Structure 1
Amino acid sequence: MIRKTKEAVAGYIFSLPIILTVIIFTIYPIFAAFYYSFTDYNPLNARNLETKFNPQEALEFHLGVFQSDVSSVDEIKDYFDLLSFIKYDVGVNLDENKEKIVLENFDTQKLLKDFVDGKLNKEMKLSQFMAEYLKTGAKYFRRYIPNFLGLDNFKKMFNDQYFKISLFNTFFYTIIVVPVQTFLALVLAVAANSKIRGVKFFKVTFFIPSITSSAAISMIFWMIYSKPGVLNRLLGYFGFQPIAWLENPNTALPAVMLMNIWTTAGYFMITFLAGLQDIPNSIYEAARIDGATPNKIFWKIILPLLRPQILFVATMGTIGCMQVFDQIYFLIKNMRNITISFYIYKNAFEYGNMGYASALSLVLFVIILLLTFIQRKLVKETY
C-alpha cells in the first residue's frame, strides 16, 4: 500500500507542470470568462487604480495656477470642480455609484489645503490618493471590481446587428466549408491510397498547406486575390474585368472559404488515409469477385467503414469553422463579412468590452457544444 502511494505521489509530482499549465491556461480562463460574461469588465480599467501621478501637477493643470502663486484655499476653491478633477485630471474611472461616493465623502478642503501647503508634490497611486482623501468608501477604489450586470450582456445581443451578422456568417461558413472539405479530403485519401506512381509526392503536396503558417498562407492568398493579383491576371486572358475579391463584401467570405478548404483538406486526408489502410484487402477482393464496380465499392464499402473517421472529421471541421479567426483577421477588411470569433476579438481587445466579449464567447461555446452533440447523435460511428 505504501509503495503504491509513493508511486502515485511521484507520478503527480512529475505531471505537476502539465497539471498547473492546464489549470492556469485552460481551466481558469474558462471560469473567468463565465464570470466576466455577467459583468462590464473592461481590461483597460483593470490597472487604472495602480497608475501613478503627481497630485500637485494635476491640480495646477486643473486650476490653471502654480502652487507657488497660491497663498490660501479661498483663492482657488471657487475654481475647483471635484468630479471634473477626479475623472479628467486624476484619471479615475467613475460610474454613477462611485460618483455619488466621491461627491458625498471626498475631503475637498483637506486636498486644497495640502496643495497650498506644498504637500502634494510627490508620486502617488490613484488608489492611495483616493484612500487618503475619502472619508468613507475608499474600499471601492482599492482595486478594480467590475459591475455585475446579470443578463444584460446577453440581452444586448438581440439588438446588436454585428452579432447577428457575424453569427450568420459563421454558420454560412461552416455549412459550406465542412461538407466540401470532408468530401474533398475523402477523395484525396482514396487517391493517395491507390498504388500509382508518384503517390508520395501527391500526399506531401496536399499535406504541406495544413502545416504551413496561417499568416503565410493568408498573405499568399492576399496576393492572389488582390486586384493586380494572379487570379485577376488569369481571368483577364478570358476577358474578365479585375475584381477586388477581398474588398467586395459579396466575394470576400467565399474567397476565404476556398482558401480554408484548400488548407484543411490535406490535413483531414491523413485521417481518412489511416482509416482506409485499416480496411482489409480481402473485403475489396470479395467485392470485385461479386462484380462490384469502383463506384459501388466507394459508396457501399468505403463510406460505411469510414464512419468513425467521417464523424471525427466533421466534428473537428465544425469546431474549427465555428472558431475561424486568423484568416478573417488577415484578409477581411469590412464588418459585413466578420465571423463571431473575430467579433469577440474586436470587443475584447479593440473596444475594451471584455464582459460583452466573454458573453459572446459563452454563446459560441454553447452553440459548438450543441452542434457536436447533434452530430454525434445523427452520425453513428458504427454501420
Structure 2
Amino acid sequence: MKGLRLKYRTKEAIVGYLFAAPVIISVLVFAIYPIFAAFYYSLTDYQPLEARKFLYVVDPYEALELHTGILREEAKNYTLDDILQNFDPVQFVQLDLGVNLDDSEKELVRQYFDSASLVSDFREGKLPKQIKVSDFMKRYMRDFGHKFSKYVPKFVGLQNFRDIFKDKLFYTSFWNAFLYSLIVVPIQTLLAIILAVAANSKIKGVGFFKAVFFLPAITSSAALSMVFMLLYSKPGVLNKILVALFGRFGFQPIDYLNEPGIALFAIMAMNIWSTAGYFMVTFLAGLQDIPSSIYEAAKIDGANSFQMFWKITLPLLRPQIVFVSIMGTIGCMQVFDQIYFLVRNLRNITISYYIYKNAFEYGKMGYASALAVILFAVILTLSLIQRRIINEQY
C-alpha cells in the first residue's frame, strides 16, 4: 500500500509540475535569468554593437574588390603575389568587413590570417556570395577561428562600480529618483485613501466616480504624457488658466518641462494624479473588509467622522498602506516612461532613464548593468526595511 501511495504521489507531482512548467519556464527566462545576466554584465565592458560584429552577413567578393581595387572578373589576370603585395589582413577585416578588432585580435589576424587561401579563392571564384563574418573568420583563421565566432565581453571586475561613484550624473539621477519617491509615495497614498473613502460612501452616482478615479490607471502612459505635454507647454491650458486668474498680478507663462527647477515636480503631479486611482482599489478592498459594527459602536460612543477616520479607518488599513507604500516606492524608484517622454534636460533625469541612456544611446551595456545592480540593491534594501517594519507591528 505504501508503495502504491508513493507511486501515486510521484505521478501527481509530475503532473503538477507539467502544468506549472510554462509559468516556471517563463519566470526563469524573463525574471531570474535577466537578474543573473545583469550581475555578470556589470563586471564586464559589454557593448551591444560589438556583440553583433561577428553576426553580420558580408559579400567577400565586394569586400576584396574594395580592398585590392581589382574586380572579380579581372582577378585571374593577376598573380597571387601581385595581389598579396597590397593585401593587409587587419585593414581588410576592420575596414572592408566592418569588424572592430581590439589589440589582441589584431595581433591574431596579423599572424594567423590565411591571406594566401583567401586571395586564391578570390582568383578562382570559390568564395561564397554571402557569408556571416563568424563563418568567414573560421574559414580563414582556422585554428583561431573560434575566437572570432562569438563576442565575449572583457572582464573588468569592479571597474564599472568605481566609475559610477565618480559619475556626477549618477548622483543627480539617483537623487531625483529618491526625491521623486519621497514626495510622490506619501501624497499618492493619502490621496488614494481619501478617494477610497469617498468611493466607499453610499451616495448617488458613486459607481461613476469610481470609474472616473480609476480611468487614468488604465490609460496608456504615453497618451497621458502627451496630454500633459500639451497642458504644461507655454501656450498650454494650464498657463492660460493661471494667466486669466493671476495675470493682473504680473504672472507670466512658464515652460514647465524646460525649467530644470520645475520639470520634475510637474511630472510628480502627473504621476500622483494617474496612480492614486489605481491604489484606490486596494484601499477600497480594505475598507469593505472593515465590519460596519465598529463604526456603529464608535458613533454610539460619540466619535465624529474625523475621529473614526483617524482612530479606526487608518489603523485597520495598515496592511494596505504598507503594501501601497512598498509598491509605490518600487514604481517611483524605477520611473522611466514619463521621464522619457517629458524631460528635456539631464538635470531632471532619474536613475532608470540614465540606465537606458547608457545601455541604448551610449552603447555602454556593462556600465548600465552596474547601475541596474545598484538600483536593485537600493530597492531591495528599502523593501526589506519596510518588511521589517511590518514584522515589528504585527
Q: TM-score, normalised by structure 2?
A: 0.90
Match of 2:8 in 1: 3
User: Deviations along 1:262-312, whole A, 9 cap, x unmatched?
Assistant: 011111111112212222222222223333232222222222221111100
Amino acid across the alignment from 1:307 = R
| 1:205 is aligned to 2:212 | yes
Q: Give the Å deviation of 1:382.
A: 4.3
Equivalent position to 2:65, from 60, 69, 90: 60
Q: Give the Å deviation of 1:133.
A: 2.3
Taking the aligned partners of 2:346 and 2:256, their CA distance within structure 1 comes to 15
Tell me if the contact between 1:111 and 1:133 (Cα under 8 Å) persists in the aligned partners: yes
Amino acid across the alignment from 1:247 = N
Distance 1:47 1:101, change over 3 A: same
Equivalent position to 1:262, from 260, 269, 273: 273
Equivalent position to 1:30, from 5, 30, 35: 35
Tell me if the contact between 1:308 and 1:381 (Cα under 8 Å) persists in the aligned partners: no
Match of 1:363 in 2: 374
Taking the aligned partners of 2:393 and 2:300, their CA distance within structure 1 comes to 25
Equivalent position to 1:176, from 174, 183, 196: 183
For structure 1, the residue ranges without an aligned partner over 5 or more in a row are none
Equivalent position to 2:94, from 64, 84, 87: 87
Amino acid across the alignment from 1:91 = G
Tell me if the contact between 1:57 and 1:121 (Cα under 8 Å) persists in the aligned partners: no
Point out the more displaced range, 357-366 or 238-247. Answer: 238-247
Taking the aligned partners of 2:114 and 2:199, their CA distance within structure 1 comes to 79
Amino acid across the alignment from 2:71 = F
| 1:156 is aligned to 2:154 | no
| 1:305 is aligned to 2:316 | yes
Q: Give the Å deviation of 1:260.
A: 0.4
Equivalent position to 2:298, from 278, 287, 310: 287
Give matches, 1:315-330, under 5 Å: 315-330=326-341
Amino acid across the alignment from 1:166 = S
Taking the aligned partners of 2:312 and 2:48, their CA distance within structure 1 comes to 55
Q: Give the Å deviation of 1:209.
A: 0.8
For structure 2, the residue ranges without an aligned partner over 5 or more in a row are none
Q: Give the Å deviation of 1:356.
A: 1.9
Point out the more displaced range, 365-374 or 336-345. Answer: 336-345
Match of 1:277 in 2: 288
* Residue correspondences, number: 383
Q: Give the Å deviation of 1:33.
A: 1.9
Point out the more displaced range, 8-17 or 306-315. Answer: 8-17
Q: Give the Å deviation of 1:379.
A: 5.0
> Which aligned runs of 4 or more in structure 1 are off by greater than 4 angstroms?
379-383
Match of 2:109 in 1: 102
User: Deviations along 1:77-136, whole A, 9 cap, x unmatched?
Assistant: 453333222112112221222122222222334434444444446322212222222254
Taking the aligned partners of 1:11 and 1:235, their CA distance within structure 2 comes to 62
Taking the aligned partners of 2:260 and 2:124, their CA distance within structure 1 comes to 63
Q: Give the Å deviation of 1:320.
A: 0.6
Point out the more displaced range, 68-77 or 7-16. Answer: 68-77
Taking the aligned partners of 1:225 and 1:256, their CA distance within structure 2 comes to 10
Amino acid across the alignment from 1:180 = I
Taking the aligned partners of 1:296 and 1:380, their CA distance within structure 2 comes to 27
Match of 2:154 in 1: 147
Distance 1:121 1:71, change over 3 A: farther
Taking the aligned partners of 2:88 and 2:258, their CA distance within structure 1 comes to 49
